[in-house]
Structure formats: structure tokens, C-alpha cells
Amino acid sequence: MTFLRRTLIAVASAAVLSASFSALAQDIKPRLIRFGYGLNEQSNQGRAAKVFADEVARLSGGKMKVRAIGAAALGPDNQMQQALIGGAQEMMVGSTATLVGISKEMALWDTPFLISNTKEADALLDGPIGDRIRDKLQDKGLVGLAYWENGFRNLTNSKRAITKMEDMNGIKLRVMQNNVFLTSFQTLGANAIPMAFSELFSALETKTVDGQENPFNTILSSKFYEVQKYMTVTNHVYSPWIVTVSKKYWDQLSKDEQKVLSDAAKTSRDFERKDTRAEASKAMADLKAKGMQINELSPAEAARMRDKLTKVYAMVAADVGMELWNDAQKELVKIRASK
Ligand code: TK8
């Protein structure tokens, strides 16, 4: 055997060996899924992300591994959405409201006073209307797995108690980066300023903005009570979160692996809704104890606001399409009748 021949054989077998080793390594190495979210680990979002990660590990027998990364460490919602679309990140959970620029039908969920209780929320989100809106994401490079509860949104600010619409005049109010929210609060008289959630605490602290709106749970877990004196219980919109997967990543998974992710998303959703509601029911007392001054918006004032927002309803209907808008209204009538 010549030296050259021997060398070639050695190189070739080393290549075969290392190829099979790396195939083996691929097999053993759990699939690492980076699951990003915006709130901190101690929030309802963080607790449910952990349930999701544990459930994926359990269902896959440890073959799939989720690393839940909170506090917008992978970026605010918008940035993570782009990372998912590009295939640079596998999964996230965030507000449907921040997805509207990508998938316009999501704006349905931003309709003020559309949903009036959690029973309606669950039935509408988990039913045909929710599925239809979720499925639209596929054309945009995302796969929506389940809606979690962010919750009914309430107003906080550092200026004054809001007891009537006029009290909102001139309040610099941070809103999510979304036209429906922007227009709604402008219409109600506030000076609405779109901003990523990750910048919100320091913006409140430095008085770049006077107020914001979010569910009880977030006001508590993000410690907004440290920088906001007043809270008004408005329940002006029910805000969902949605668990999404990069379509590029999803398409590489086997059917079984896809099923693990969708089943775990649903298990974590059921946990998350219960956990969020339990926390929300105690939150008002907790926030009072932290020193917030809390008032509830009277039904008469809520009705005045709703009237004022008529043009926003027309705007959402045009944005999502008349057919979807009408079908959603019909579905809600059905849900209400089924009580
Ligand atoms: C968290 C946000 C948050 C939302 C907001 O990333 O931006 O106010 O309510 O939950 O999605």
C-alpha cells in the first residue's frame, strides 16, 4: 500500500467516523427551543412559560428542551416576531396586539369592550373565530399554537384619578405599538405614545410618560405601583397573548414533535388562565396595600367612552374585513345565548 493510498483511507474513514458521530450527537442532543417572552420570571407569563417548558420535556421524554427566556432579554415582542419569521429564534409568547402589523386580522382582539367576561374570551379565542385568526399567521411565517390570557386592561397614571373621560385630557399615555390602541386613546383625549413594553418602566419612572394600561397582573408583577399612584378599573379591552413558533423551525419538526409543542401549549394555556385569574382576583387588594389609589369607572362613563369609540369600531371592521367582523359578532351572540 502506498503512503498516499494509506493516507486517503485514513482520511476517508475518519470522515465516515466523524460523520456518524455527529449524526449520533444530533440524535442525543435535545432539540433546544428558545422561548422568549416580555415580562419577568415571577409574572403569570413567566410561571406559564415554565409549565410549557416542563411539559415539553415530559411529553418528549427529554428529547426536546425549552429554554424560557423572559424580561425581553431576546428583545421586545416586535423584534422576537421578526426573529421567528427569519428562523433565528424558535418560539415566543407575546401580545396579539403587537402582531397586527404582521397579520391584520389580529386587530379584532384590540376592539374596545368587545369581550365582557372570561367565559366569552375563552369561547371566542378557542373557537372557530380564534382559529381563523390564528391560522392567518401561517402565511406570514409564524405558527400560532394557543392563546393565553394577558387579561382585561386597566389604566394607571401618576397625575390624577380618572373618573370621567375628560380626566384623560393631556395625560401622556403609553400604548402598545398598534393603530387601534393609538387611535382609541387619542379619541378619548389622551396624548397616546406608542412604545415597546420593555421600555415602559423606566419611561414611567422618568415621567417620559404619565401613564399606561395593562391588566392587574402586569401592574403587580412589573411593579408599576412603584411609579404610578392612580389606577382606574376600566376593563376597556380583553388582551390575549399568543404562543407562536417560527414556521421555518416548525417545518423541520416531525409530526410527533409538532404535537408535543401544540399539546404543551394547550396544557400551559389551561394552567395560565387559572393562575392569571386567581392572581387578578386578589390583585386589587395587593395594589391598594402597595399604596395605589384605585377607583372603578362608573357604567355611565364606560358607556360614554364606548359611544365616543364608535369610529374605532368602524376602523377595526375595515382593517380585519367586514366578513370576519360580522362573523365574530354573530359568534359572540351565540356564546352569550349559550349561558
Ligand atoms: C409583554 C407585552 C405586554 C403587553 C404590553 O411583552 O405591551 O403592554 O400587555 O404583555 O406583550
Which pLDDT tens digit goes with each residue over 30-40?
Answer: 689 999 999 99
Answer whether residue 9 shows pLDDT above 60: no
Burial label for 159, CB within 10 Å (0-12, 13-18, 19+), is middle
The arithmetic mean of pLDDT across residues 190-218, rounded, is 98
Q: Which of 77, 93, 110, 198 to mutate to test the pocket of ligand 1 (most atoms within 8 A of CB)?
A: 77
The CATH number of the structural domain formed by 30-337 is 3.40.190.170
Q: Which residue has the higher pLDDT, 15 or 177?
A: 177
Q: What are phi and psi of 170, to 5 degrees?
A: 80, -5
- Per-residue pLDDT, 8: 52
Cβ-based neighbours of 268, under 8 Å, separated by 6 or more:
48, 49, 51, 52, 55, 146, 148, 243
Whether residue 45 has pLDDT greater than 80: yes
For the CA of 38, the closest atom of ligand 1 is 6
Ligand 1: residues with CB < 6 A are 38-39, 77, 94-95, 98, 150, 176, 197, 214, 218, 239
Mean pLDDT to the nearest integer, 44-49: 98
1 pLDDT higher than 90: no
pTM: 0.91
Return the pLDDT at 23: 46
Residue whose grid cell is 409538532: 258
For the stretch 62-75, pLDDT in tens is: 999 999 999 999 99
- In the chain, the percentage of residues whose pLDDT exceeds 70 is 91
pLDDT at 13: 52
Q: How many CB atoms lie within 10 A of CB 31?
A: 17
Q: Which residue has the higher pLDDT, 1 or 216?
A: 216
Stretch 75-81: mean pLDDT: 98
Closest CA to 68 of 42, 87, 86, 95: 42
What's the mean pLDDT when you consider all of the chain?
93
Cα(327)–Cα(337) distance, integer angstroms: 15
